[in-house]
Amino acid sequence: MTKVAQFLTDSEHKAFDLEHRRKIRFNIGKYNAAVQTGLGWYQDHELARERASYLKAKAINNLDQYLLQWEENFTKRGGKVIWAQNADEALTEIGKIMQRKKARTVVKAKSMTTEEIHLNKYLGKNGIDSVETDLGEFIVQLNGERPYHIVTPAMHLSKKDIADIFVKHLKIEPTDDAQKLVLTARHLLRSKYTSAEVGVTGGNFLLADIGGIAVTENEGNARLSATFPKTHIAIVGIEKVIPSVHDLNLFWPLLSTSGTGQQVTVYNTIYTGPRQPLEKDGPEEMVVVLLDNGRTNLLAQPDKREALHCIRCGACLNVCPVYKNIGGHTYEATYSGPIGSVITPHLSGLQENKHLSFASSLCGACSSVCPVKINIHNILLKNRQQSVQAGYSDKEEQRAITLWLHGMKHRWLWDMAPVSGKNWVLSRLLGETGWNKRREGLQIAPKSFKQLWKARG
């Protein structure tokens, strides 16, 4: 089955799954309520968005300069940098580090870039146990699933679902006490931190002026993953750079408020390299993998470049009517929802993923909530245009549109055609868009407006 056919099949299944819809509306509803409360703390939220948009545009438009500045400052303190053009390069270099460290266990804090390059699968093939330490990621890993949401990996699961997963995989007694479930995971994970040879994290921001990596989290698991193991590997997309550490007073609150409604996230940490001579804590070695993996494809397109401004807050997913109906797993991509539909065709191939840009109502809700003012729905439209110009449209659709266009330019053809012929053409056109699947077919009026007007004299 092609990716498009699989997407349509899965979308239909999820859209009519009432229990799934109930869980998502309940969980997203809680976040939306918290976000509205959080926005009340801003005196001028729109001004904050404007400033963040300007700073991200400044960083992306001068990406080469800021990345080199970041690398120079990071390596001054003993940090090591790996530039990875794609997932294979990143995995190869990470594999070399694992071999050198004789790693058997890796503790991993939530990182979408590691999902992007399928790090867990790679480590598993090489006999290395990779343990997700974020609670949501830990739950979906136990259940053999991918993250459902950029910020909340287990958003599609209820408390009962999670309890059932723990009973099945961890052999605990059945319970509906959320605190007991959390303590079960905590007890299991604590020993992993101290025994792991390598800790892996992502990075929310690269701070060019100090050569630092800012990591945002709510559970403290990233700090433990980066501190206990002797080697810390951070895998970060090249677009995460911002000019200065002083910009965090703008970006940290925007990220937390847009994502979860918090004024600021519980744990915000800046890593500037391995443990220094007079420091008591931290890894002996710190390596940062700067990941391209298709990002420069977007960078090379000025009309779509602003998609790289994304700070991965997840706000666009929470307001998207399509996402709330078909769910995160249906996208079959690392990044789901509106922003995923924008960037996935450029990161993973336009021809195979063009359908994602069509899975949108273009209502603009995503653009209205984006904390860095990315014009998401407009870029989705440009992605559609690009896929058509590249000749990736279905042949049947191309023929139907050609026929419709010819008819619109030659009105006399429509006037000559019988009503039954017009209805056949209309049925084919609407059938291509799926209109007739769950709606009654449209019928052409027996007389055209021109004929009615002529009859009235």
Q: How does pLDDT run across 13-59, given as a tens digit for each residue?
A: 999 999 999 999 999 999 999 999 999 999 999 999 999 999 999 99
pLDDT tens by residue, 83-92: 999 999 999 9
Q: Does residue 372 contact residue 59 with C-beta atoms inside 8 Å?
A: no
pLDDT tens by residue, 195-249: 999 999 999 999 999 999 999 999 999 999 999 999 999 999 999 999 999 999 9
pLDDT tens by residue, 88-122: 999 999 999 999 999 999 999 988 999 999 999 99
pLDDT tens by residue, 351-363: 999 999 999 999 9
φ/ψ (deg, to 5) at 311: -105, 10
DSSP assignment letter at 108: E
Least confident of 59-73, 166-180, 309-323, 408-422: 408-422
Structure tokens at 78: 């003993």
Q: What is the predicted pLDDT for the residue at 405?
A: 86
Q: What is the predicted pLDDT for the residue at 110?
A: 82
Q: Which amino acid is at 409?
A: K
Is domain 41-293 given the CATH code 3.40.50.10420 in the classification? Answer: yes
**CB burial class (10 A; 0-12, 13-18, 19+) of residue 78?**
middle
Q: What is the predicted pLDDT for the residue at 57?
A: 98
Q: What is the predicted pLDDT for the residue at 249?
A: 96
φ/ψ (deg, to 5) at 340: -65, -40
Residues of the chain within CATH 3.40.50.10420 domain(s) are 41-293
Overall average pLDDT of the 406-417 stretch:
82
Is the pLDDT at 76 greater than 80? The verdict is yes
Q: What is the predicted pLDDT for the residue at 247?
A: 98
CA nearest to 284, candidates 124, 143, 105, 78: 78
The span from the CA of 395 to the CA of 402, in Å, is 10
Is the pLDDT at 433 greater than 70? The verdict is no
Alpha-carbon torsion angle 355, 356, 360, 364, nearest 10? -130
pLDDT tens by residue, 330-344: 999 999 999 999 999
Least confident of 190-199, 386-395, 418-427: 418-427
Overall average pLDDT of the 439-453 stretch:
84
Alpha-carbon torsion angle 105, 109, 114, 118, nearest 10? 50
Q: What is the average pLDDT value for the chain, to the nearest integer?
A: 93
pLDDT tens by residue, 56-72: 999 999 999 999 999 99
DSSP assignment letter at 306: G
Give me the residue label for tokens 């007073």.
249
Give the whole-number percent of the chain exceeding pLDDT 90: 82
Residue 348: pLDDT band with limits 50, 70, 90: very high
DSSP assignment letter at 106: E
Structure tokens at 154: 């287990």
Overall average pLDDT of the 179-194 stretch:
91
**CB burial class (10 A; 0-12, 13-18, 19+) of residue 269?**
middle
Which strands, in side-by-side order, build the sheet including 241-242? Answer: 241-242, 205-207, 212-217, 267-271
Query: Number of helices (H) and strands (E), helices first, in the chain?
Result: 24, 10
Q: What is the predicted pLDDT for the residue at 70?
A: 98
